Chains A and B, each alone.
Chain A
Amino acid sequence: MKSARPHAMRVFLVALALLAALAFAACGDTQDDESDNASESASQEGRADPNAPLKKGLKTVSIPKQLGNPYEEFEHSGVDEALQELDGSNRISGPTDAGASTQIPLINAAVQQKADAIIIAGNDPNAVAPALKQAAQRGVKVVGMDSDVAPDARSVFVNQVTTQLVGENQVESIGKQIDYKGDIAILSATANATNQNAWIDVMKETLKKPKYKDMKLVKIAYGDDDDQKSFQETQGLIQAYPNLAGIISPTTVGVAAAARYLSTSPQKGKLKLTGLGFPNQMRKFVKDGTVDEFQLWVPKDVGYLAGQAAVALASGVITGAEGEKFKAGRLGEYTIGKNGEIVLGPLTTFKADNIDEFDF
């Protein structure tokens, strides 16, 4: 066995090498970033100029919650559309799993690549906040989309529909189907997701109204936006609560999985299901009677609006303050609401008689 000294020597050599590497890295550091960001942040702090021309050639990075999710792909294609329309370009950079902190390296990479704006659908509102704040300090505009992050970590937040409306409409949708009587459960996505929790809170509040007094929420299950897990959670809900009258699943993955399970189970047609789903995924189940109705918005429009907002921010047209207006291309004019929130519009209900009009 070798003596200990050569090994110890090697550790110290490595430490020296490390220091040398750091010194080398320090040569190419980011001083130049600080200087031109100073001027940009000055204009950011300043007033919004509604007549400012939209800058061309802007580069944005949009960060979905997770790659491989068709809803998010469709949504982010809207960002692509907006940027292309405005002579810019967007790059979609997403994590392979929807954990709380998986987006952080992507945010940092976007900043290093000198993106003009980051559009992000957050997996966790707080985990990404420090990285986003650092990005903002470097002059990168931050737009929250679909699933919000900490309000002080982004300039504006593009919400597909108001949180209030989603909760209320979903409760009404299921209530109508079960004659406003019976036990209901919610099949949600991940437990951290801001949008899910916000909608669920509104649903709980809505259920307190006298109209829904005979309905009871017995369980919230989490399908983690994973098809297999959502499938199994649906199974579990029915086993644990055999008197279940209805399920609300405000996630496209969840409602599709639940519908698929129900369509081959004895509860088909008897246990009512509603949620936020894609027409293309749900069409089969509406036609075969498993689902009577479900709701959604057009995700691509959400992305499109976010892209437009990002360009407006980067061009100084808006700063994210309440009351500011800007024109969002083909969607028309929008006004920024409280806390920097921009709402796309109301929910659309899909039923057998209108589902064939949509293709997404």
Chain B
Amino acid sequence: MQTEAAAPEIAPLATDRGRKWRAVLGRWETLLAGLLVVTAIAGQSISPEFLTTDSFTTGSLDLSEIALMALPLAMVIIAAEIDLSVASVLALSSAVMAYLWSHGQPIEMIIPICVAVGALCGAFNGVLVTRFGLPSLAVTIGTLALFRGLAFVVIGDESVTDFSTAWTDRAFGNFAGTFIPNTMVLFAVLAVAFAVLLHATPFGRSIYAVGANEEAAYFSGLRVKRIKLILFTLSGAVAGLAGGVISLRNSTGAANVGQGFELTVVTAVLLGGISIFGGRGTIAGVILALLLLGGIQKALLLSESISSYWVQIVTGALLVGSVLGPNLARRVADTRRRRSHPLQEVGL
């Protein structure tokens, strides 16, 4: 009985190369790349200024902190958790920076402290989720309020705007005379680091395992709790760094920065093909999604006639489409397969 059921080949045999092409083309990242091309064409037809180095410089600068925070958040979501508190950690970090600067500390010392503060916040989230077993969605909604509240407690309604120009120029400026902002170089470095971590190390593989099936991962010996704790801490640390970056870039350290960022970061990650259920997704996808979001925003900004309100509608539609599309495609494929192999259902 067993051997008979296992015998029939389901799909027609394809050549190795054909299957590989289909594998590449069928991937989410390829779809994103296609959308990028469409955006490039559409954007250029809206405004001849779209495909310029200027657009990249200013557009990517605007998304710097979102891009940074998307990297570790991708890993958190792959592990089937979520962290909605990243923007509040960024705000707390900015507030701490403002406070320390107004008390005479040098930037060189402040930035590591901000990263440490962020890491602490992330660890707090992590402990609540792992040791206390609380759901990360609820926890991070709570810490979203808590951390931003703490930011206000630190610096109140004030803002510090007199950071040293050496540093603000560095945060706002471009790398070595090119059109690439320094913050993008920082992002590129972190992106490569996270990509290597996620895609080429055992730790990265274990993240996928935890996300795909936590129980199985636990029983196969992975230290699930420690992995999650590390991921939350990383998320907080990078958010802390992003807080320092945004404060220097805008020359404003305050508690009300980054309002609403968390949703944009989650959107970028989900759009990048990271499944909300965990276990799937790549850093490459996140990078492409960030480019896509930035490109759409820039195109609409440059348009003289299309209202920039459309950015929100398009973002929302893309987000939903990114999950709905594959679902529908799968359903169509299932129906087609069922029609051509009716006996498959019965296991013959």
Contact = CB atoms under 8 A, between A and B. Distances in A.
Contact of B254 (A1, A25, A100): A100
The range of chain A's interface size is: 35 or more
Contacts of A124: 159, 161, 250, 252
Interface in A164-223: 191-192, 222
A4 B204 contact: yes
Interface of A: 1, 4-5, 7-8, 10-11, 13-15, 17-18, 21-22, 24-26, 28-30, 91, 93, 96-97, 99-101, 104-106, 108-109, 111-114, 124-127, 129-130, 191-192, 222
Contacts of B288: 14
Contacts of B55: 25, 112
Contacts of B157: 191, 222
B58 A112 contact: yes
A10 B284 contact: yes
A8 B58 contact: no
Contacts, number: 134
Interface in B157-205: 157-159, 161-162, 168-169, 172, 179-180, 192, 195-196, 198-201, 204-205
A24 B179 CA distance: 13
21 contacts: A11-B284, A21-B291, A22-B179, A25-B55, A28-B48, A28-B53, A29-B53, A29-B179, A30-B54, A93-B308, A97-B259, A100-B252, A105-B58, A108-B58, A109-B58, A111-B54, A112-B49, A125-B161, A126-B162, A127-B252, A130-B168
A108 B48 CA distance: 15
B56 interface: yes
Given A14-B29, A22-B56, A97-B259, A7 B282 contact: yes
B344 interface: no
Contacts of B198: 7
A8 B199 contact: yes
A209 to B, nearest CB: 27
User: Most chain-B CB neighbours within 10 Å: which of A26, A29, A109, A192?
Assistant: A109
Interface in B46-86: 47-49, 51-56, 58-59, 62
Nearest 3 interchain pairs by C-beta: A191-B157, A108-B58, A7-B199
Contacts of B205: 1, 4
B268 interface: no
B150 interface: no
Interface stretch (B226-234, B296-304, B324-332, B334-342): B296-304
B159 A192 contact: yes
B41 to A, nearest CB: 12
B199 A11 contact: yes
Given A25-B56, A28-B52, A1 B301 contact: no
A105 B52 contact: no
Contact of A104 (B56, B250, B297, B309): B250
A112 B54 contact: yes
B195 A126 contact: no
A21 B44 CA distance: 14
B251 interface: yes
B302 A113 contact: yes
B127 interface: no
B208 interface: yes
Nearest to A7: B199
Interface of B: 29, 33, 47-49, 51-56, 58-59, 62, 157-159, 161-162, 168-169, 172, 179-180, 192, 195-196, 198-201, 204-205, 208-209, 212, 246, 250-252, 254, 256-257, 259, 282-284, 287-288, 291, 297-298, 301-302, 304, 308-309
Given A127-B252, A191-B158, A105 B301 contact: yes
Contacts of A111: 54
A269 B301 CA distance: 48
Contacts of B158: 191
A279 to B, nearest CB: 30
Contacts of B287: 14, 18
A101 B253 CA distance: 11
Contact of A22 (B47, B168, B180, B208): B180
B159 A10 contact: no
B301 A109 contact: yes
Given A8-B199, A124-B159, 5 more contacts: A17-B33, A22-B53, A28-B52, A109-B301, A127-B252
A101 B252 contact: yes
Contacts of A101: 246, 250, 252, 257
B257 A30 contact: no
Contact of A25 (B47, B52, B282, B301): B52
B314 to A, nearest CB: 15
B53 A26 contact: yes
Contacts of A112: 47, 49, 52, 54-55, 58, 302
B29 A10 contact: yes
Contacts of A93: 308
Given A29-B54, A130-B172, A11 B301 contact: no
B251 A127 contact: yes
A4 B291 CA distance: 24
A8 B52 contact: no
A25 B302 CA distance: 16
Given A8-B196, A100-B159, A113-B302, A1 B209 contact: yes
Contacts of A126: 161-162, 250-252
